[in-house]
Structures are given as C-alpha cells and as structure tokens.
C-alpha cells in the first residue's frame, strides 16, 4: 500500500539531506516510491510523483542540487540537499510557518514514520548509497507527542478510516463516546488536535488529543470517506477552537531549552545581566502560554504581564496542594 504523502515527503527530505553524494533517480525510486513498478504506467506515475514532491520540498525552503550521480558517466543525474543550505542562520518565522516546521519535525519522530524512514535508508545502503547521520542533525525534532491517541489517529487519517474514542470535555463530569471521520491533525500552542466530521452530530468538529481518555478504535474499510475538497485542517481548528484574549508576554528562558516558546516567539534576545538566559517575547492566550512555561519547569521565568505570572503561580500552588505528603501515603 502506498505511504501517505506527508511521510513520503519527509523520507525524501531525509534521504537527500543525509546523502554524502548525489543520489540517482533509480535509487530514490526504489527507496521511496516502491508503489510505482518499472514499466510504462509505473514510469509515468513515478515521474509525476517525484516532480510534485521536489516542488513541495522547494516550496518549504529546501534547496535541491542536481549533479552527476556517477563518477564516470556525467549523464546519470542525481539529487541531494546540501546541509550548508539547510543549516540556516537565525531567522524569524511567522506563526503559521513555525507551526508547519513543528509539525514536520513531530511527524518524523512518530514511531510508525521512523520505521518507514529506516526501511528507506536500509534500501539505499543496500544499493551502495552512503548516508551520513550527522547531516540530519539540522532537522532533528526537539518535541514529542505524548498523547497515546496520536499514532492511531495519524494512521486513521492516512487510511481514511472512521474512529471512535472516549472524550472528556472540561465542562462535563463524564466522558462521552465520539464517532469521527478524521480529516487531519493540527498542532497549536503545544497541543495536538484532530479535525474531522462528527458522525453523530453531523458536523465538523475539533478535538484536543489530551482530552481523549481511552483507546482510539478504527472501524470499517480504508477509504471509507472523502475529506471535503479544499479543506484546510489548521484553519478549521482555529475556527472551531475556543478563542481567548491574547497577552504579550516577556519570559526568561534558559538557553538550550524552551523549544515551544522559542518557536512561537516574536523575538529572542540574549540577556547581558543573566548569562545563559534569553528574553523571549511571545503573544497568545494566557492559558496557552502558561502551559508552555510550566512545561519547562525551572528553565522558564515569567517577567510579565502580571496576569500570566498569577496564572502560573496559581496552577503551581494547585499542584502542590494536591500532592499527598509522603507520611500520609504510607
């Protein structure tokens, strides 16, 4: 069965980036496009898919070099992504661009995709193509999806299978069973969401993965439904998610930490009076920024505004108050 396009694009990016020399088209085809066997129809399908994928990588900033894949024959064309073009200097991303980068990194780290990438790398190694793992450090992900629902939902999205799961809303005391045709996954402010069609309610809905409190069960055949044409999963998630007033926050973050805060930052400035720390300026709802700050523990300190400081302190006190003293636990 053909792999999802997002997985194929990430695998292609990894292989071209990790290559020590130009990789020939045949080697790329065997490693990444096994669903297109050699022959008239398969050759045409592979060429179309490969050209589309190269264009997609270029659109997100990858520089794909073309050169000779054979030391003795100049007519055998190969491809690679130079690391000096990928190891970018300090730049600022818009919020939507940062979200795309975060999603790409997260998707690569998921176990199912890591296995597929490993298989592709093994195929290239068997063909004598050298891959240097150190060249891949520039795209190494620094965040994870801890929610158990991520992988089964990702699988269901790719196969277009309907799912059911128990969902606990903040305003309800008991979870309810939701039956959903998932369209896609979106990440926002450190949280993962699944967007899709709620079968029982007959409308599009968005669900936060951290509120899925039980197993995600897929049912029915693959390809059981179609995602509406032109659907922008992230736009749907923004439209259906609750809206909260935003604040502009200044947060001291220890250098080498705070990936989520830095990814959404307006600016990051090294602090002269506190070596090893940066001042990170972010904007967003108080509860979302609080989540990011608390995730980093002692590596993040809120300078302002006061409403954010109070929210962080209140939540820390609530955790401390709920802890059971060691003597009482015996």
| SS3 call for 236 | helix
Report the alpha-carbon distance of residue 135 to residue 193 in Å, rounded.
31
Residue 75: band (very low, low, confident or very high) from pLDDT cuts 50, 70, 90: low
Cα-based distances in Å from 127 to 12, 23, 90, 120, 208? 16, 10, 37, 11, 43
Strand pairing class (77-80; 300-304): unpaired
pLDDT band at residue 33, thresholds of 50, 70 and 90?
confident
The CA distance from 120 to 33, in Å, is 10
Residue 36's pLDDT is 80
Report the pLDDT value the prediction gives residue 143, as an integer from 0 to 100.
Answer: 41
In this structure, what is the dihedral angle of CA atoms 94, 98, 101, 102, given to the nearest 10 degrees? -170
Q: Which residues neighbour 274 within 8 Å (Cβ) at sequence distance 6 or greater?
A: 252
Residue 193 has pLDDT above 80, yes or no: yes
Work out the mean pLDDT of the chain and round it to a whole number: 75
Q: pLDDT tens for residues 284-298? A: 878 778 878 887 888
pLDDT the model gives residue 96:
41
pLDDT of residue 138: 45
pLDDT in tens, 127-154: 566 666 555 544 444 444 567 888 889 8
- What is the model's pTM? 0.44
Map out the domains of the chain with their CATH numbers.
5-139 (no CATH), 150-240 (2.30.30), 246-322 (3.30.70)
Give the span between the Cα atoms of 251 and 133, in whole angstroms: 34
Q: Residue 132: what pLDDT?
A: 61
Q: What was the pLDDT predicted at 89?
A: 40
Q: What is the mean pLDDT of residues 245-268?
A: 85
The larger pLDDT score, comparing residue 258 to residue 130, is at: 258
Q: 3 falls in which pLDDT band (50, 70, 90)? A: low
CA of 50: how far to CAs of 21, 69, 117, 169, 203, in Å?
Answer: 19, 17, 17, 43, 36
């Amino acid at each position: 069965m053909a792999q999802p396009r997002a997985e194929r694009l990430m695998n292609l990016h990894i292989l071209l980036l990790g290559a020590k020399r130009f990789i020939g088209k045949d080697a790329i085809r065997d490693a990444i496009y096994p669903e297109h066997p050699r022959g008239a129809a398969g050759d045409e399908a592979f060429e179309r898919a490969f050209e589309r994928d190269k264009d997609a990588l270029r659109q997100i900033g990858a520089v794909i070099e073309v050169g000779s894949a054979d030391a003795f024959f100049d007519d055998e064309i190969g491809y690679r992504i130079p690391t000096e073009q990928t190891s970018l200097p300090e730049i600022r991303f818009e919020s939507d661009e940062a979200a795309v980068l975060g999603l790409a990194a997260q998707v690569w780290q998921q176990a199912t995709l890591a296995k597929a990438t490993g298989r592709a790398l093994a195929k290239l190694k068997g063909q004598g193509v050298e891959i240097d793992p150190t060249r891949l450090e520039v795209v190494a992900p620094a965040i994870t999806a801890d929610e158990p629902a991520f992988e089964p939902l990702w699988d269901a999205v790719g196969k277009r299978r309907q799912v059911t799961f128990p969902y606990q809303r903040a305003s309800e005391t008991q979870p309810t069973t939701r039956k959903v045709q998932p369209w896609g996954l979106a990440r926002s402010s450190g949280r993962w969401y699944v967007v899709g069609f709620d079968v029982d309610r007959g409308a599009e809905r968005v669900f936060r993965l951290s509120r899925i409190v039980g197993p995600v069960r897929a049912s029915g055949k693959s390809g059981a439904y179609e995602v509406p044409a032109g659907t922008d999963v992230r736009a749907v998630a923004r439209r259906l998610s609750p809206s909260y007033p935003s604040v502009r926050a200044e947060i001291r973050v220890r250098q080498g930490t705070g990936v989520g805060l830095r990814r959404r930052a307006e600016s990051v400035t090294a602090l002269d009076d506190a070596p090893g720390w940066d001042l990170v300026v972010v904007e967003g709802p108080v509860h979302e920024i609080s989540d990011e700050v608390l995730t980093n523990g002692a590596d993040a300190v809120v300078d302002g505004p006061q409403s954010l400081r109070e929210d962080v302190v209140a939540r820390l006190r609530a955790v401390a108050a709920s802890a059971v003293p060691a003597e009482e636990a015996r």
